[in-house]
Structure 1
Amino acid sequence: MIAPFRMFIGGPIGSGNQWFSWIHIDDLVYLIIQALTNSDMSGIYNATAPNPVRMSELSQTISQVLNRPSWLPIPGFAIKAILGDGAIVVLEGQQVISQQTLDIGFKYQYPDLRTALANICK
């Protein structure tokens, strides 16, 4: 989603009300390393940051971090035309919570979206 914002044509996908779960690549790698080296970790872990956001908040935060406008939403019908049945995941979103990851005491370097995006976009 960052590329369109850099070209001044960014905006939310669909209604903007759908949930968007995300994770910074550094936190993902560290979580994988923990899973490989910590014998106490077993089962399924959601590899997401602890703070999912709405698509509209994601777009607004990217806009602010890049100092670009967020003015061109991508309509749902365009996403459906491109992704077909896969558009459901994008247009409806999922609020994935990383509770088991938090319960083991995993420490995120980038628990909030603004800090993560600022690091990625620098």
Structure 2
Amino acid sequence: MGSGYTNVCLIGLLLVEIGITLWIKANISSRLIQHVKENKLITDGVFAYVRHPIYSAFPHLFIGLILLMNNIYLLILPILFWIFLTVLMILTEEKKLVNEFGEAYINYAKKTDRVILFRRK
């Protein structure tokens, strides 16, 4: 295996690390469960960069692991997951959040992308 494969592995490891970090920051660092119990909208920490960091973590993990396995045919799976997740979020969770938090969530959504990390609107 040449240096090209080594570079792919490094990118894969980086994506896995980003995915794990997103998940940890969304679940543990932000005290997500406490905020949900208190019915509070979280817009700081990792949520300042992406509205659904847990959902964003999974494609990073999947693509990173696929690159580490060196199987490009499996790259269709994160794409299918992304499509399914986007439709599911639009039809359910996003509507629920607008109903719960109203204008505060609408303004937050205007500034922050749904799942693409660091993409500002």
Using structure 1 for the length normalisation, give the TM-score: 0.30
Greater relative contact order, per chain length (Cα 8 Å cut-off, separation 6+): 1
Greater helix share, structure number: 2
Using structure 2 for the length normalisation, give the TM-score: 0.30
